[in-house]
Amino acid sequence: MEIVIIMRTYFKILPYLVLMLVPFMAQAFTETDYMAWFNENQSAQPQFVDGDVITFEKADLVRPFIPKEFQDEWLFEGMEMTINTGKAATMKPAQVYLDATERHAGQATIAADGAIENYSAGRPFDPEKFVPGTDSGWKMVWNWNYRWQNDGLSVGEVDWVWVRRGGSHDNHDVMSNDGGKYAQYYEGGGTFERVLKGPYKRFLMAHNAKYQDTDYKVNAGKGFAKNTEFREYTGFTSPFDIAGTAFLILRYDNPRKADDSWAYIPSLRRVRRISVEVKSDSLLGTDHTLEDFYGFNGRPLEHNWEYVGSANILVVARSRNRDTVYYGPNGWAVKDDYALRLTDVMKQIPKSDAHPYSHKFIHTDRVTGESYYANAFDKAGELWKVWQLTKVYSEDPWVKDEPSPYSKRWSEPTQAGTNFQIFQSINVIDLQNNRGTLVPCRGAEAENTSFKSAKRLLDVNYLTEGR
């Protein structure tokens, strides 16, 4: 009888206990929260100048210029954010790209299904004319797709560092491998669980402003380059259980034609075709997908796109370092120069119900077109992942004067005048599971790629060799 009375009393007071606890429970971050920050700070004026070093005591100065979902990760006791907007202000795409933009201005159009038509080279659409609620979302994603990229990108060594919130990485192998050459890049905390390594190569074959004399196509669009926008290789050389695994993506010049994609699995000793769904799955256990590269690396027509607006944000646009330096309590913040850049924001909405994200917001540079920040929401509409992308600029001496020290086979020095924001790192935090994947791209180059070498490295037969 006493037990019955106690249980009845418990269930009577349970609702009140729940109400008492609600204020102390973390509220899910949703699109509403993101848009509230965005709308509140669109017209914010900076109260800092070049040369200022923002510490935690001054963190309120930069909150209007850092998306709200990043602030708990980047603003902490011991933070150090150096403001250097002036250096980044001189960046611009190569002159051949600017010339192509002017030559073909007003020609490109958007079809009823969102596909781009009548496009040759350069920036297809003027972002100054973008308006929310129109077809500007489609125009922005095609601007993104056809941003200036020279011939593409080569990275001798891409590291995929699995990191767990809290703890220490001091005793992890990455801190002592090869004479400790990596230790200088990893300060602060965070528990490192696994490190994958391998090369990366992307080669553009169509709509490249450098090839005006051949209809903006490599090899005049013949042979290996026929009907091809780009080919992309992602390989893994370690650890031993995935060594030899490689992925190859062929993106067709026809925006309505699906990619051809292959994977080489050493344990099977054969090449397998991969589907659209696989490209949105976790890549070998990391927090990235093949589609997350660059901020977005999928086919535009597999999604719907909305233009959100523009905002000034603080970004690593022209890093003072050749390679990314990480620090902070979890080891996933970036210690560097930060520049205030005008960014356009687009919303990605996958068409497939099988896609893991309900939607994603991506910030891209108004001038260069490169992306800096992105976030993704789960099917319930709650914030899941956030990305920070850092860049080096091709005209800095440590980029243009030095070949990659990691693999001469994969890269050559970037030529002066390339005027390209080169991919330095892409770092993602899975906020729901308190983990992340850091991806520093060591020795990344935007070299002038020969058609012969690209054909040798980016053929599907290359995968079967398990290199």
Q: pLDDT tens digits, residue range 345-394?
A: 999 999 999 999 999 999 999 999 999 999 999 999 999 999 999 999 99
User: Taking a C-beta distance cutoff of 8 angstroms, is the pair 207, 171 a contact?
Assistant: no
Q: Which runs of consecutive H residues, i.e. helices, occur in 358-400?
A: 397-400
pTM across the whole model: 0.91
pLDDT tens digits, one per residue of 274-324: 875 666 677 788 888 878 888 899 999 999 999 999 999 999 999 999 999
CB atoms within 10 A of CB 31: 16
| Letter string b/e over residues 91-115, b meaning 16 or more CB atoms within 10 A of that residue's CB | bebbebbbebbeebeeebebeeebb
Q: From CA 261, how far away is CA 275, in angstroms rounded? A: 7
Q: Which two tokens stand for residue 304?
A: 């719907």
Sequence-separated (6 or more) residues with CB below 8 Å from residue 331: 163, 169, 186, 187, 188, 189, 190, 192, 438
Q: How far is CA 184 from the centre of its chain?
A: 23
pLDDT band for position 26 (50/70/90)?
A: low
DSSP 45-86: -----TT-EE-GGGGGGTGGGS-HHHHHHH--TT--EEE-HH
Q: Which domains does the chain have, with CATH numbers?
A: 95-197+301-448 (2.50.20)
Question: What are the structure tokens assigned to 439, written together?
Answer: 């991806």
Average pLDDT over residues 231-239: 92
Query: Is residue 145 a contact partner of residue 271, using CB atoms and an 8 Å limit?
Result: no
The token pair at 16 is 């009140």
- Counting Cα atoms < 13 Å in the Cβ hemisphere of 250 gives 19
What digits encode the pLDDT tens for the residues 194-230?
A: 999 999 999 999 999 999 999 999 999 999 999 999 9
Determine the pLDDT at residue 17.
40
